[in-house]
Structure 1
Amino acid sequence: MERHQVAVYLAATAVGAALGAAVPAAGPGLERAVNPVLGALLFVTFLQVPAAELVRALRDGRFLSAALTVNFLAVPLLVAAVLPFLPDDRAVRLGVLLVLLCPCVDYVIVFSGLAGGDNRRLLAITPVLLLVQMLLLPLYLLVFLGPGLGEVVAAGPFLTAFGSLIVLPLALAWATQAWAAHRPAGRRAADAAGAAMVPLMAATLLTVVASQLPRLGGSLGRVAAVVPCYVVFPFVMVFAGRAVARLLRLGVPAGRAVVFSGATRNSLVVLPLALALPAGLSVAAAVVVAQTLVEVVAMVVLVRLVPRLLPG
């Protein structure tokens, strides 16, 4: 499974799409499984980064600066440029903003590694990227959608998602690392959890697509209008990421990791936020899921393209 991760993820997405189309009534039940599966995936992701590695990553000024610049300066500027071309639909725009303004923290590690990126460095700064995006996202939404946002987007779901999908998995991962450092049973448990990375990623994609595909049916026209934006976004960000990596004189593996960090978005983590929106904004969740479907295909292309743009 490690050797054939891309094929596994594409197959999981296809099975999820087939299941969602064939048994749409299963959507609500599968939707309840999204958060637990995603939390388990993030726990396994964090488990691969020792706490000491995170401290060292924070001292890696150039790499961290490049990742933060690409994700929290270049991306918002690109989003601001494309926003006027999106449908004048508050729910659709909210979905696009939720997914494009947040950098990926899960399968970006996989695709970056497949392209020869420094995925250890990228994995180490994952908690930083998560924390910064959660702090800045409300501010970005306020800037792009105006002060009326507070009437439709409650802070509660954001705080709940941050606690259940970030704080809890990270705390459990560090506790497991401490257990593994002192007990053979802990080491065996940590090894077993690490081996579950690919199956959990596949299960997450399958669950998300199968549970959310029925939502696309009733709002296909509204969602289809943003697909061109999703197609263009990763390829524009590849060149932006390469420019920042060269400006800060990063090595080739580190530069490739920064490129993938900018091009890949956090659809799986922000989906629970979209699902918690009021009924009048429910199409935002479908808009987020559409980005996942486009991005999985785009990542397969970038695994081949990025090494050519940043040759070793």
Structure 2
Amino acid sequence: MNSRRWRRWVVLGVLAALACLLTSCGGVARAATTHFVGDYVWLDTDRNGLQDPGEPPVEGVRATLFDGAGTAVETTRSGENGRYLFGDLPDGAYHVCFDLDALPAQVGDHRLTAMNAGNDAVDSDVDPETGCTRPALTSTDLTLDAGLTAPGNELGDYAWLDQDGDGLQSPEEPPVEGVRVALHHGDGTPTGIAVTTGPDGRYAFSNLPDGSYLVCFDLDGRQATVPAAGDEALDSDADPVTGCTGAVTAGLGARQDLTLDLGLLPAPGTPAVSP
């Protein structure tokens, strides 16, 4: 046997041995492929449905993996880094559901952000209606993220003419329409949001993200009554010099504050009304 033929038989033998190892020489057995499903839970503070720099992970969110028949396979929780993972899964269809009725205390009243807002690597993949990802996953998928967002906050409420100058609303004292009201951040910088009081004297800022705010009334040369005269629901909250309330924190446990009122004194020369 010449050397060329000998080398050929050696190569064929090696290939045959490798084929035997891969097929267990029976032609049927092959290592099963395993899959992994995950990935990340975060706080979508700007509510755009995407993971942005500075938005924190959320720890302790309960996630359950279901197979194609709807049977729960495994349950875990997101870690300190917001990550969760289901591993060593055989071929099959899977989906993940998040327990929104038992969220950690720090996000207890939060809800899911909009799904599929953009890049699949950084958007939220969970249906806000069902709390689940879409089914029929058949391979490793580490893009199944869940964004949580706080419900909107609301601030308001009323401007009136304090005819008797006592700093408190009385049934006979009328509302004041057309007062411009601007919303500022707690550090005094404007948010760019402003409204005017309606015919009933009411105003409102709705769907606000968590944060600290000031409500500033444009006095337009008018004089505000004395603030903090008594009942928080009936007194005036605006500083007579600046026209602004004190800082109000909106967030978990304080989603609505409809006590931020302004009492205006009658124009100079107007006869006072006795209480």
- TM-score scaled by length of structure 1: 0.20
Question: More helix by proportion, 1 or 2?
Answer: 1
- TM-score scaled by length of structure 2: 0.22
Greater RCO, CA 8 A, separation 6+: 1
Question: More strand by proportion, 1 or 2?
Answer: 2
